[in-house]
Amino acid sequence: MINNLQRKKAKQKTILNAATKLFFVNGYKKTSIAQIAKEANSSQVTLYKYYASKVELARAVVVKLIVEGYGQYDKLLDDPDKTFVEKMQAMMQTGSSEASQISDNFVSFMLKEFRGANGSRTVLKVYNDYKINFWNKLFDQGRQEGKVNPQISNEAALIFLDMYVSYALNPNYDAVEFNHHADELIHLFYYGIMGR
């Protein structure tokens, strides 16, 4: 029984990884279920046992990116050998590097998912579930090292973060344009218009 469960989890992970790879390269629209099944060495029937639709599979990819991203950043915050500034620089480099690897079409899909435009609020819920603990930890570390202004509360900083995210999620805004300025926006988020 356990072996069967492990096999199922392994197959689901293989499908999810194949979908991630293809969505990043080809985008959501140009990637078919048949291509994902082939990349995962699976049949389409097997794929549909785990994911009822292409939208559900792509949503699972976005959730995976959020969970893994916060996990990676959280490990970085726990690194005792790096200063707060070094941690911030590593997060900025990782964020801009990852953004440049994602097809514009999949970026558009991800933002639609954050907005709930595809009929589910799952992505935004997962993002919000991870957000508060991570950012509070980051702000607290920054204050301990004297790099975050002690007069700015975590609550105010989270409001700023939410304003930033809300702008990106505005359906009237071009997701592709937002992605093209990812480096600048990440820098502005962490350092403001005054630089460092």
The Cα 3–Cα 67 span in angstroms is 26
- Domain check: are 104 and 140 in the same one? yes
Is the per-residue pLDDT at 153 higher than 60? yes
Based on the fold, state whether residues 103 and 146 are members of the same structural domain. Answer: yes
Predicted confidence (pLDDT) per residue in 161-196, tens digit: 888 777 777 777 776 777 777 778 777 777 776 555
Q: 70 and 18, same structural domain?
A: no
Residues 17-54: pLDDT tens digits?
999 999 999 999 999 999 999 999 999 999 999 999 99
Residue 196 falls inside a structural domain: no
Domain assignment present for 30: yes
97: domain CATH number is: 1.10.357
Which CA distances in Å does 111 have to 17, 37, 89, 128, 172?
Answer: 20, 25, 25, 15, 11
Token readout for 91 is: 């997060």
Contact 49, 42 (CB under 8 A): no
